[in-house]
Amino acid sequence: MIYLDYAATTPVDQRVLDAMLPYFRENFGNPSSVHRLGQKAETAVESAREKVAAILHCRADEIVFTSCGSESDNLALRGAAMMERITSSRKWILTSKAEHHAVSKTAVQLEKEYGFLLEWLDLDEHGAVTVESLSKAVCNDTFLASVMYANNEIGTINPIAELAKIAKANNILLHTDAVQAAAYLDVNVEKLGVDLMSLGGHKFYGPKGVGALYVRKGTKLLPHMTGGGQEFGLRAGTQNVPYIVGFAEALRLAAEERDSRTAHVRPLRDHIIGQVLESIPDSKLTGHPENRLPNHASFVFKDVDGNLLLQMLDSAGFACSSGSACKTGNPEPSEVITSLGYDRDWALGSLRITLGVDSSPEHVDEFLKSLPALVEKARGLNRK
């Protein structure tokens, strides 16, 4: 099987696994326990927090460990909204239809069930939120904007640092979902200027089931999980020590090896984009042609059923996606693709190819050899 779906998840790096293993059996204590086994576990958690903080260029007490990127998104949006309800009368939330559902569906629920007001930010032709779009949408009653750092489905990178300046000038919080971005982009929060940032471990060769939320000092959130007061009272529950250790080590390696990993995947990505657009009629690149994640190629093919194409690719030995892994199997076109203005006959035929450390030129060549015939076959079946 040739794996071309690194945006969905990544295998755990052996070095990360090695760092995690002692905390399953040898140092298995509860970090909240007073005895020495508990203290060892607590030390591991706090060392991991400091390691993450060093990469994000923030304070250790600004890092909250969670179970995943989706939980981090939920804590950021719900926590900010519920605190705003207590402290102010502002009600407007700004986000876009290109966001991961962990953000967009949370925003919709806050509007529908809790009485907040929601405005969808305009996107440009490449699916980016522009400075003009945010500036135009902000009003006196806006308290929060959530814009992802890099899009998981189309790879487009948003101008987060510039958007943060607009947010700060208007006294609103800016949250960014950096789950997809952290594998390849700088997550220095001082440079980015954000108030809240979500991360998920399994996108950069860490384990599934662990994430983090950066919360800038002074940013007030109402906790959505109450109990024993762990994670500065923002996220109760016994900390998952081995996974937190693994998360921190994986993020450290991603930051340390960013340049070499980027240099490995970018030429392969460019080769895929060039060949697909040249060899397959009625194909278009989705997302920005240059300002995109270095491992990310995404397309739409006219008159193709994307899910059928995925099944055919799977049978041929290739693991790809039609966008977000959370969308696979859904017969409806992705909201991200339709928000770019594609008609249904284009939007249903999306394909995402994402590369990683184990991708090779041979894998890419084999994929490119197989894809045109499979797209043609899928088109033929779709027309019947």
- Pairwise CA distance, residues 38 & 32, whole Å: 6
Beta strands 92-95 and 318-319, pairing class: unpaired
Q: Which two tokens mark 60?
A: 């250790």
- Pairwise CA distance, residues 313 & 367, whole Å: 9
Q: Helices (DSSP H) in the chain: which residue ranges?
A: 14-20, 36-56, 69-87, 101-114, 131-137, 160-169, 189-192, 241-256, 258-279, 306-315, 335-338, 344-347, 361-383
- Pairwise CA distance, residues 286 & 155, whole Å: 8
Residue keyed to tokens 């950096």: 178
- Pairwise CA distance, residues 42 & 90, whole Å: 39
Contact partners, residue 310, CB within 8 Å, separation at least 6: 320, 321, 322, 328, 351
Please answer whether residues 297 and 350 qualify as being in contact, where contact means their C-beta atoms are separated by less than 8 angstroms: no
Active site residue 326: yes
Q: Which of 113-147 are b and which e, b meaning 16 or more Cβ less than 10 Å from the residue's Cβ? A: eeebebbbbebeebbbbbeebbeebbeeebbbbbb
Q: Which two tokens mark 2?
A: 């040739």
Q: Which two tokens mark 27?
A: 């140092």
DSSP helix/strand/coil, 293 = coil
Catalytic position from the list 58, 68, 139, 326: 326
Catalytic residue list:
326
